[in-house]
Structure 1
Amino acid sequence: MDRSVLTQPTRPSRRLLSLTALFALVCAVLLTLTTAPARAAEAPAEPAAEPTRIMALGDSITGSPGCWRALLWQDLDTAGYADNVDFVGSRSPDGCGFPFDGEHEGHGGILTTGIVRDNQLPGWLASADPDVVMMTLGTNDVWSAVPTTTLLDAYSTLVGQMRDANPDVRVLVAQILPMTPAGCAECYDRVVDLNAAIPDWAAGLSTPESPLTVVDLWTGFDTATDTGDGVHPNEAGWRKMADAWYPALTGVLDDLPTAD
């Protein structure tokens, strides 16, 4: 027997080399697939945009229970805004027959001039930190025969405090509801005078950084059918209020700068 045949090393076939290379390639691909998700999990998530914080500021027409706010929130939810807004304030939601985002700053019996006198707004603003304020104030001042000029001065003080807390705050100011309460025959005309003065006052105070928007709650509101006492809205009145606030508020929301 020829021993050279027995001792000669065996060379691997080209077929075997090809299979080995293919196996190595498959292992490399599997290793990449199993490690990629781990790297993806380590990547920082995109920060979520903060919701727009909205404070409803007013008296018993805003609170107690102020279910126009509930209807307004329901309308915002239906239109797809609700996930991007947060109603804020120190007052808890009121019972209006269905769940809604109901925190607010509506204080029954309060006067605009009283808020200024007692310096109450800065504390409320510090706690709620609103981006938008919906202000419905003046009913109790009118009922107390506070002159229109005095009331507008109080409005100006409140807007200044809002801007001290947030220079870019958007302020929506209501031309308030008509009033025909028993024992105040002059109230109706006082409201007419106040509402007539609000647009010029707002135009003089509005700025590009912090615009003031006037919201007409007066037009189409009838104290005989939309209130129970000539002052406080009933269910029909709440619906009219929500319908008046909705285009004004969504117009502001649509105009707010979006996060990068």
Structure 2
Amino acid sequence: MAHVRAASCRGSPTARRTRSHPGPRHPHLCARPAVRGRLHQGSPCGPQQEPRGHRRRPAAAFGRPGRIRDASPPHAAGDSITDGYSIPGGYRIELFRKLSARVAGLDFVGSQENGPSALLDRDHEGHSGWRIDQLAAQVDGWLDGHPPHTILLMIGTNDLIQNRDPANAPARLGALLDQMSARRPEARILVASLPPLANAAQNAWVERFNAALPGVVKTRADQGKKVAFVDVGAALTLADLADGVHPDAGGYSKLARVWYEALRRTPGTPGP
């Protein structure tokens, strides 16, 4: 999720500073020992982050350049991709740069915090190695503690890599959307498809999961929930992965552009 928070399941405890820990951290799986991934246990990576020194302001969205449309915070939620595995901050670095140039007082929210000094707002809800059920167990407290206006949600990769009942992963995501919508009915939730995986068997599950997502989201939208599908995963190929699981710098840049364009197209979200 992103409120505009971002969340993904790949990251290392030493790679980010955390203001609060809503639950125990779970190890993520990795494609190779030296790089964060998810096929076997990986090693921590990434430097400790400098403390953020900027003054936080409420987020804003607008209908055209120079005109503020809204002043509510966004939330990015998910797993290590939201966190920014291998590149602390991940897609949030470029997304914040693009949005803050057009949106006055942009404010990402979340209980987690990491990224380079160039990322002036490092708050997010990306938890490395986490599955859909783990996010669902904590999400009510996050939504109450950091009420978002817009949620960028990318979750499910670890369900598939960890072989946690992958056939029913789309149904679990649907239940998570119901839970989040009930908790924050005014928040808009943008639901992302998943990037590909280098492992062919796991990628077959990614393709099935992604194929089911439009229907899962449409069912909720038809019920009046403020949800929308964003085909984020389609922007990436295997060549955009650093380790067979997580995006490299170019891959994160592509994710940022897709999120940015989705926010531009979605009424009531922080985008120009």
Does TM-score exceed 0.5, indicating one fold?
yes
In 2, Cα distance between equivalents of 1:154 and 1:257: 25
Q: Percent identity?
A: 31
Match of 2:236 in 1: 221
Q: CA deviation at 1:113?
A: 2.2
Question: Is structure 2 residue 261 aligned with structure 1 residue 247?
Answer: yes
Counting only pairs closer than 5 Å after superposition, residues 3-82 of structure 1 correspond to structure 2 as 51-64=71-84, 65-78=88-101, 80-81=102-103
Q: CA deviation at 1:178?
A: 0.5
Q: CA deviation at 1:166?
A: 1.6
1:93 corresponds, among 105, 114, 138, to 114
In 1, Cα distance between equivalents of 2:132 and 2:145: 19
Question: Is structure 2 residue 157 aligned with structure 1 residue 136?
Answer: no
In 1, Cα distance between equivalents of 2:223 and 2:73: 19
Match of 1:197 in 2: 212
In 2, Cα distance between equivalents of 1:207 and 1:54: 23
Residues 150, 269 of structure 2: 8 Å contact kept: no
Question: Is structure 2 residue 246 aligned with structure 1 residue 236?
Answer: no
Match of 1:152 in 2: 170
Residues 138, 151 of structure 1: 8 Å contact kept: yes
In 2, Cα distance between equivalents of 1:156 and 1:53: 23
In structure 1, the gaps of 5 or more residues are 1-47
Match of 2:196 in 1: 178
For these two proteins, the number of residue pairs brought into alignment is 200
Match of 1:22 in 2: none
Q: CA deviation at 1:169?
A: 1.5
Q: CA deviation at 1:204?
A: 0.5
In 2, Cα distance between equivalents of 1:196 and 1:92: 32
In 1, Cα distance between equivalents of 2:70 and 2:204: 43
Residues 129, 165 of structure 1: 8 Å contact kept: no
SS class of match (1:173):
strand
Residues 181, 187 of structure 2: 8 Å contact kept: yes
SS class of match (2:83):
coil
In 2, Cα distance between equivalents of 1:161 and 1:215: 19
RMSD, matched Cα? 2.3
Higher helix share: 1
> Greater RCO between the two (CA within 8 Å, min separation 6)?
2
In 1, Cα distance between equivalents of 2:98 and 2:269: 22
Q: CA deviation at 1:159?
A: 1.6
Residues 193, 234 of structure 2: 8 Å contact kept: no
Residues 149-179 of structure 1 show CA distances to partners (whole Å, capped at 9, x for unaligned) of: 5212221222222223221211100011001
Q: CA deviation at 1:250?
A: 2.3
Q: Which runs of 4+ in 1 moved over 6 A?
A: none
In 1, Cα distance between equivalents of 2:72 and 2:264: 11
Match of 2:23 in 1: none
- AA partner of residue 142 (structure 1): L
In 2, Cα distance between equivalents of 1:207 and 1:129: 24
Distance 1:149 1:170, change over 3 A: farther
Residues 96, 119 of structure 2: 8 Å contact kept: no
Match of 1:169 in 2: 187
Q: CA deviation at 1:145?
A: 2.0
SS class of match (2:108):
strand
Q: CA deviation at 1:115?
A: 2.6
Q: CA deviation at 1:194?
A: 0.4
